[in-house]
Structure 1
Amino acid sequence: MRRNNGVARFRFYAELNDFLPVYRRQVSFTYAFQEPVSVKHLIEALGVPHTEVEIILANGRSVDFSYLVQDKDEIAVYPPFTRLDVSPLVVLRPPPPNPPRFVLDNHLGRLARYLRLLGFDTVYLNHDADDARLAQIAHDENRILLTRDRGLLKRSLVVHGYCLRSRDPRRQLTAVLRRYQLHAYIHPWQRCLRCNGRLQPVDKAAILDRLEPKTRLYYHEFQICTDCGQIYWKGSHFNRLEKLVTAVRQKQQLD
């Protein structure tokens, strides 16, 4: 197939500029390429994962990822909008899973615990999963992939994903809640923080042999994970985590 040289003009908006070198941020710039090539390929060649993109305009017309870029095209690329109706435009992907469910890469263990604490179905395999397996899980189980690795999000199997900018787990949690408008889905203490299994009430007598003496004496209400058997009660650890839940809900009211 004959390949022709072309030059297109690109402009990335809002937080998509986080992925660009400084000299390309918040400005229109040209980029040379060889035809034929899809707009998805060029967007990712410029550093932006396709999962971060919600709207693509080619010469003012809404297009999808398969659009073949032409010489002298003007391409505008936008992130998701939470307060703008984009339904008249070309849809780049199906809606995210409802209720929301996630798979996290190997460096987000604390965030996984926080999401499970709030009741979200969250797969976290610690260090047992490479990029290929994470992408496969996201695809096969229709999960949102959360990572700080933009290369992982560029895998074609990944439909829904988000690249976390911060290294701080609390900030990461805030970013995910905002990105996917999750506050209405928060149902704390429904999932095991250790394995993601469902929690259910358990009679104290049934687990008495597993409790420390002081726990037997001072606590009477317990939950147990239906998968791994982890036991939960309202001790000091509960109070610390409940403060996080309260802070999240207060932040929701401010937003």
Structure 2
Amino acid sequence: MNGPEIHVEFAPELHVFVPRARRSDTVRAATDGVSSLGHVIESLGVPLTEVGALLVDGHEVPVSHVPVAGESVTVRTVARPQRVPGAPLRFLLDVHLGTLARRLRLLGVDTAYESTDIGDPALAARSAAERRVMLSRDRGLLRRRELWAGAFVYSTRPEEQLWDVLGRFEPELLPWTRCTACNGVLREATKEEVAGQLKHGTHATYDVFARCGACGRAYWKGAHHEQLEAIVEQALTLRSERR
């Protein structure tokens, strides 16, 4: 590496973005006297959505700080729970996080989801327009400046993804109030109102129904209800334990 350098130490949680940080205490990074510390950190592979406090020689600095050769930088991870100011907490998920989207909706969390790949610019624009936190495993998407807010989804396992998001943001949980298909709000419905969606066995067996006010989809406690109930109960237990 040529030119002036700084030494950067990353929190262990951020080593997934900077594999060489696992092999040594610090990572050396070049400085040019112009680029901000935020730019340098992103150039090393860490989205700023995952960065918490930045310390230079033990003193906290903003991401706009322009590093000077020889400085020692400590990069901490985002503090939890993370607060997103200025808007009700809402999420936007990309095409790869469909299961996570459905589980968040099951818990009553306002969750928009793109089932097709509409591209990073369109996702970032929607995040900004609707003031939604963008959840993604795409580091490039999370680096887009127009995002309202964003967060990297660390795991590839839906159950771990869910617990991570709930622990990081602590959204209000209102189970059984949103459509898992479209995110619309559910309301109570009579059997007659949803009769057109019921097979004969369901019509004869169940009497309590809900229907989505947006797409009209009917819901009842069917064959998979116990599995869904377990997800809800675990989420509510996790929430109560953290309070």
**After TM superposition, is the score higher than 0.5?**
yes
State whether structure 2 residue 78 is matched by structure 1 residue 80: yes
Aligned mates of 1:68, 1:179 — CA distance in 2: 29
Q: Which runs of 5+ in 1 are unaligned?
A: 84-92
Query: Pairwise mapping of residues 1-255 of structure 1 onto structure 2 (< 5 A)?
Result: 5-24=3-22, 27-82=25-80, 95-96=84-85, 99-182=88-171, 185-253=172-240
Query: Does the 8 Å contact 1:17/1:25 carry over to 2?
Result: no
Query: Does the 8 Å contact 2:6/2:69 carry over to 1?
Result: yes
Q: Secondary structure at the match of 1:140?
A: helix
Letter in 2 for 1:242: E
Deviations 1:49-99 (A, max 9, x none): 00001111223222222212222222211112238xxxxxxxxx9835654
Deviations 1:189-225 (A, max 9, x none): 1110000111111122223233221222111111111
Letter in 2 for 1:108: L
Query: Does the 8 Å contact 2:124/2:147 carry over to 1?
Result: yes
Deviations 1:162-214 (A, max 9, x none): 212211111110111111133xx111011100001111111222232332212
Query: Does the 8 Å contact 1:200/1:225 carry over to 2?
Result: yes
Structure 1 residues 17 and 96 mapped into 2: Cα distance closer, same or farther (>3 Å)? Answer: farther
Aligned mates of 1:115, 1:187 — CA distance in 2: 10
Q: Secondary structure at the match of 2:66?
A: coil
Q: Secondary structure at the match of 1:189?
A: coil
Give the CA deviation at 1:252.
4.0
Aligned mates of 1:221, 1:232 — CA distance in 2: 9
Aligned mates of 1:55, 1:208 — CA distance in 2: 56
Aligned mates of 2:122, 2:7 — CA distance in 1: 36
Aligned mates of 1:181, 1:167 — CA distance in 2: 20
Q: Secondary structure at the match of 1:30?
A: strand
Give the CA deviation at 1:133.
1.1
Query: Does the 8 Å contact 2:20/2:27 carry over to 1?
Result: no
Query: Does the 8 Å contact 1:192/1:199 carry over to 2?
Result: yes
Aligned mates of 1:25, 1:225 — CA distance in 2: 52
Identity among equivalent positions (%) equals: 38
Give the CA deviation at 1:132.
1.2
Aligned mates of 1:211, 1:6 — CA distance in 2: 70
| C-alpha RMSD over aligned residues | 2.1
Give the CA deviation at 1:16.
1.4
Structure 1 residues 55 and 159 mapped into 2: Cα distance closer, same or farther (>3 Å)? Answer: farther
